[in-house]
Amino acid sequence: MDGYHFSTEVLVRFAETDAQGIAHHASFVVWLEVARVAYLAEHAGGYLAIQAEGIEALTTAVDVRYHRAAYFDERLRIWTRCVDIRGARFRYEYAVVRDLTAGAAELVAEGSTAHATVDSATRRPKRVPASFAEAVARAESPA
Amino acid sequence: MDGYHFSTEVLVRFAETDAQGIAHHASFVVWLEVARVAYLAEHAGGYLAIQAEGIEALTTAVDVRYHRAAYFDERLRIWTRCVDIRGARFRYEYAVVRDLTAGAAELVAEGSTAHATVDSATRRPKRVPASFAEAVARAESPA
Amino acid sequence: MDGYHFSTEVLVRFAETDAQGIAHHASFVVWLEVARVAYLAEHAGGYLAIQAEGIEALTTAVDVRYHRAAYFDERLRIWTRCVDIRGARFRYEYAVVRDLTAGAAELVAEGSTAHATVDSATRRPKRVPASFAEAVARAESPA
Amino acid sequence: MDGYHFSTEVLVRFAETDAQGIAHHASFVVWLEVARVAYLAEHAGGYLAIQAEGIEALTTAVDVRYHRAAYFDERLRIWTRCVDIRGARFRYEYAVVRDLTAGAAELVAEGSTAHATVDSATRRPKRVPASFAEAVARAESPA
C-alpha cells in the first residue's frame, strides 16, 4: 500500500457482524485500535512502554469511510501509519483492505484517528515521549 | 414474574445483532449487567455507593440459557433478583422476557451471575457491605 | 441545543468503559446508531418502516470528535438531526452532551454519519423513500 | 492441557477492558466463539462448510467461571474441545489459560457452550451434519 510501511491483520468475528449480514461499522473503530496497538508493539515497545513514562494516549477524534462491506470469517489487512506528531498530539491513518490474489488488494475502508497524550495521574497534556517520536520517525522512513 | 420484584428494560440495538439476524448471545451478558446496575440504582444507592465503601464487585461466573431469539429494535424486560449474599460473595438471577399483550410474557432467556466483593485497593476479598445486604433484604421481601 | 429538535438519552454501561476508566471511544459510534434508531422511531415509523419499503440504509462514513471523557453510569443526551437527503444518500449530525443544572449542557462529543440506501435484495443504490424525506422535513422544521 | 487437543490464541484488546482495569467478563464469551470458529476452520472446513449444508448453529447456553483477571495486551490461550454431539445438538468446553514460562499455564477461566443446529431456511432443528460429527471424532481422538 503506497505510503504505508506497517500492516496487521484481523479476522472478522461473528460477534462483529450485524443483522445486515456484514461487519458492523463500529467494529472497524475497534480494529483501528488493534492496529495501533500492533504498530506500537512493532515499533515503540508497546503501549505499556508509553504508560511506563507516566503517559496515557487519549483518542480525540476518529473518522472512517466505508467503501465495501466486510464479512464474517474474512481476513482483513489494516495498513497503519503514524503522522503529525506535535507537542502532545499525534494522528494515525489507516487503509483497511482485503488481499486478493497476485498481490492485488481491494480497499474496504479508510480512516484516521487523532490522539492526545496526557499525564497518567493529572490527565493534563504532556508531550509525546521523545522515544515514541523517534521510533515513529524510524518506522515511517525505513532505509 | 414469579419470585421477582424488580425488572428493567433494554431495547435491542442494531450493533447487538449478528449475521444470523438475531441478538448476539454475548449481548445478553451485557444486558444482565445493565439490569444489575439498574437494580443497584433502585435499591442500594447505585454501584457508586458500593465503590464509595472501597469495594469493587467482580464477576466470577455467568451462565445464560437461551430459549428464544431476540430481534433488533425489540424491547425486552429483564427480571432481576439478588440472592445468596454470604461473606464476600453474592449471586443474581435473571429472566429475560418479551412482554406480550394482556400481561402475558414469553421467556427469552434465563441466567445467573456470581460475584465477589474485593477491596478496591488491594483486590483482596472484603465482605459485602451491610448496607447492601440490608437493601437487598428489603428489595427481595417487599411488604 | 441550537439547530437540533430531537434528542435521546443513553446511560453509560460498565461494558462500555475501558481500562482508562472512561467510556471507550467506539461506544460513541454505537450510541449514535441508537440515536438514529430513536429518531426514526419518533419521526418516520421506525427503521422497520424503511425495511418494509425493501430498503436497507448502510453506513458509509462516521466521524466523532471527543471533547470530554464520559464515565460509567452517567446519563448522556444525544442531540440528533438528519441533513442532506439527496437521491440515495443522507447524513446525520450529533452533539453528545451531559446535562448540567439549570438547563446548561456540556459538550462531550460531536459527530456525523453518512448513509446510503440500497435495495434490500440487490444491494444496489435505491432512492431514499419519499415518506422518509417528508418525515425528516417535518422533523427538522417544526412549526 | 489435559483432555484438550486444540487451542487458539487471543490478544486482549483495549476495547475489551473495562473501568476495573481488566478484560470485561462479556469479552470471554466472544473469545469462546472465536475459539469455536478456529476449531471449525482447523477440523471441519470452517463454519462456512456448515452453512453450505443449509445449517446454522445457534448458541443455546453459555457458562463461564472466571478464576483470574485478564489484562490489556495479554495473550491468552483458549483450549477448546467439542463434546456430546447428539441429534441436532452439541457442546463445547473451554479452558482459557495464560502460558507461563517452562510450559506451565495458569487457568484464567473455564467455560462451556451448548448449540443447536437448525435448517437455515426454516429454523427448525436439523441433525448435525455427519461430516461435522466425523471431523470432531477425528479431532478429539488423535492417533
| Global ipTM | 0.95
CB-based contact, A26 to chain D, within 8 Å: no
Q: How many CA atoms lie within 13 A of C141 on its CB side?
A: 7
Per-residue confidence (pLDDT) for residue A136, from 0 to 100: 93
Question: Of B96, B30, B19, B20, whose CA–CA distance to B65 is shortest?
Answer: B96
Separation of alpha carbons B23 and B16, rounded Å? 6
Tell me the average pLDDT across C10-37.
98
Categorize the per-residue pLDDT at B101 as very low, low, confident or very high, splitting at 50, 70 and 90.
confident
Tell me the average pLDDT across C10-39.
97
Interface of D with C in 44-83 (CB under 8 A): 72
Residues A64, C64: C-beta atoms closer than 8 Å: no
Does residue A88 contact residue A59 with C-beta atoms inside 8 Å? no
Does residue C57 contact residue C120 with C-beta atoms inside 8 Å? no
Q: Subunits that touch chain D (at least 3 Cβ pairs < 8 angstroms)?
A: A, B, C
Q: What region does A123 belong to: left with phi over 0, alpha with psi -120 to 50, or beta? A: left
Per-residue confidence (pLDDT) for residue D5, from 0 to 100: 96
The pLDDT tens digits of the residues spanning B15-57 come to: 999 999 999 999 999 999 999 999 999 997 888 888 889 999 9
Kindly state the cell numbers that stand for C120.
434490500
Question: DSSP assignment, residue A23?
Answer: B
Separation of alpha carbons C13 and C28, rounded Å? 12
Pick the residue from chain C with its C-alpha nearest to D22. Answer: C19
Task: Name the β-bridge partners of D10.
Answer: D76
Check residues D47 and A96 and name the one with the higher pLDDT. A96
Let me know if A82 is exposed, middle or buried by CB neighbors in 10 A (0-12, 13-18, 19+): buried
The pLDDT tens digits of the residues spanning A46-85 come to: 888 888 899 999 999 999 999 999 999 999 999 999 999 9
Separation of alpha carbons B113 and B82, rounded Å? 10
Separation of alpha carbons B19 and C69, rounded Å? 32
Categorize the per-residue pLDDT at A44 as very low, low, confident or very high, splitting at 50, 70 and 90.
confident
Ramachandran angles phi, psi of D35, nearest 5°: -65, -40
Kindly state the cell numbers that stand for A131.
522515544
Determine how many CB atoms are found less than 10 A away from the CB of residue C131.
13
Residues C63, A63: C-beta atoms closer than 8 Å: yes
Per-residue confidence (pLDDT) for residue A142, from 0 to 100: 75
Tell me the average pLDDT across C34-62.
92
Q: Best interface-test mutation with A: which of B24, B25, B30 has the largest number of A CBs within 10 A?
A: B24
Tell me the average pLDDT of chain A: 94
Question: Of A84, A36, A94, A88, whose CA–CA distance to A64 is shortest?
Answer: A94
Least CB–CB distance from C13: residue in B15, B30, B48: B30
Per-residue confidence (pLDDT) for residue D83, from 0 to 100: 95
**Alpha carbon of C89: minimum distance to chain B alpha carbons (Å):** 20
Tell me the average pLDDT across C91-113.
94
Asked whether the predicted pLDDT for residue A103 surpasses 90, the reply is no
Q: Best interface-test mutation with D: which of B29, B112, B119, B123 has the largest number of D CBs within 10 A?
A: B29
Weakest mean pLDDT among A103-112, B111-120, C41-50:
C41-50
Check residues D143 and D29 and name the one with the higher pLDDT. D29
Categorize the per-residue pLDDT at A143 as very low, low, confident or very high, splitting at 50, 70 and 90.
low
Cα-trace Rg, chain A: 16
Categorize the per-residue pLDDT at C48 as very low, low, confident or very high, splitting at 50, 70 and 90.
confident
Residues A17, B19: C-beta atoms closer than 8 Å: yes
Asked whether the predicted pLDDT for residue C112 surpasses 70, the reply is yes
Per-residue confidence (pLDDT) for residue B57, from 0 to 100: 95
Asked whether the predicted pLDDT for residue C71 surpasses 90, the reply is yes
The pLDDT tens digits of the residues spanning D83-112 come to: 999 999 999 999 999 999 888 899 999 999
Partners of A41 on chain D (C-beta within 8 Å) are 73
Does residue C98 contact residue C109 with C-beta atoms inside 8 Å? no
Give the percent of chain A with pLDDT over 90: 84
Partners of B62 on chain D (C-beta within 8 Å) are 25, 29, 62-64
Per-residue confidence (pLDDT) for residue A45, from 0 to 100: 84
Per-residue confidence (pLDDT) for residue A1, from 0 to 100: 81
CB-based contact, A33 to chain C, within 8 Å: yes
Categorize the per-residue pLDDT at C143 as very low, low, confident or very high, splitting at 50, 70 and 90.
low
Categorize the per-residue pLDDT at D143 as very low, low, confident or very high, splitting at 50, 70 and 90.
low
Partners of A62 on chain C (C-beta within 8 Å) are 25, 29, 62-64
Q: Where are the beta strands (DSSP E) in chain A?
A: 6-11, 55-66, 75-86, 89-99, 105-119
Give the percent of chain C with pLDDT over 90: 84
Separation of alpha carbons B128 and B49, rounded Å? 12
Does residue B57 contact residue B85 with C-beta atoms inside 8 Å? no
